[in-house]
Amino acid sequence: MHFESLGFRTDLFLLKLSGSTFEDAGEYVVVRTPDNPGFWWGNFLLYRTPFAPGSVESRLADFHRELPAAKHVAFGIDSVDGVLGAAGVAEELTAAGFTIEHNVVMTAERVIPPKRPNEESAYRFLAGDDDWEQLYHQTLATTDLTVDEEYKQFTRRKLVAKRALVDAGHGTWFGAFDGDRLQSSLGLMFDGAGVARFQNVQTSPEDRGRGLASTLVHHASTYGLTEGGARTLVMVADPDYLAIRLYRAVGFTDSETQLALIRPPA
């Protein structure tokens, strides 16, 4: 299956490594992650074309037919320009309860150090159960979503999948540490064909504003472009999130817009 969007192409690469399945239905591709049904972006439809007038209801019917057990609804559009569709479609989707996300796909073939790197912390791979358990708790502490028991289980399943990819040699997880305490973290996964995709750049709330994330991104990028053998680094970011500036500051440039639509469980 060919996809125009580098963002979705690398998303699907990572999902496939984690055990997700894909079914080509012609107009769209069905992405399923049976082991984690609450994973919105592991259970979605990726359409090959934008929305046409009046197509919201038919696409909702597609979703419920293909993923009948899902409590959420998630659509992606395989494009690079962020065009949602015909006039009025955004209003239809908003009325149907969807949030429309225009994320920035950023790439770099070389990086530069941050202007004010954090030189107080240690930067290394995550190693051992304690490091990974700290990553679990850091993920819970940095989410904007409600941390209930269901979300904790979802996060635990995602963590198991991440660690399995690292253990299988598909990438690595980096951390910034104060002694043995995890302060900031990110993943970098390799497709084996020269592309490396960043995952989940996050910093503990009490450690923000100290240059940790930018220093860690530069550290991981340097590794990826040298020892990791990547030629292109890929980062997907929310255009309204402050961290996008630090990615640009170390050499990432905007390459395309990734269009995603989500309706959370009621």
Backbone angles phi, psi at 174, to 5 degrees: -105, 150
Cβ-in-10-Å burial (0-12, 13-18, 19+) of 212 comes to buried
Of 136, 119, 128, the C-alpha closest to 218 is 119
pLDDT, tens digit, 9 for 90 and up, residues 69-126:
999 999 999 999 999 998 899 999 999 999 999 999 999 999 999 999 999 999 999 9
* Angstrom distance (rounded) from CA 77 to CA 75: 7
**pLDDT score at 252:** 97
Low-confidence ranges of the chain (pLDDT < 50): none
What's CA 191's distance to the chain center, in Å?
Answer: 15
Of 145, 19, 14, 13, the C-alpha closest to 72 is 145
**pLDDT score at 124:** 98
* Angstrom distance (rounded) from CA 257 to CA 266: 28
**pLDDT score at 242:** 80
Domains 6-105 and 122-250 share a fold: yes
Domain locations along the chain: 6-105, 122-250
**pLDDT score at 96:** 95
Q: Is the dihedral of CA 92, 59, 55, 90 positive or negative?
A: positive
Pick the CATH number of 6-105 from 3.40.980.10, 3.30.70.100, 3.40.630.30, 3.40.50.2000: 3.40.630.30
User: Does CATH number 3.40.630.30 belong to domain 122-250?
Assistant: yes
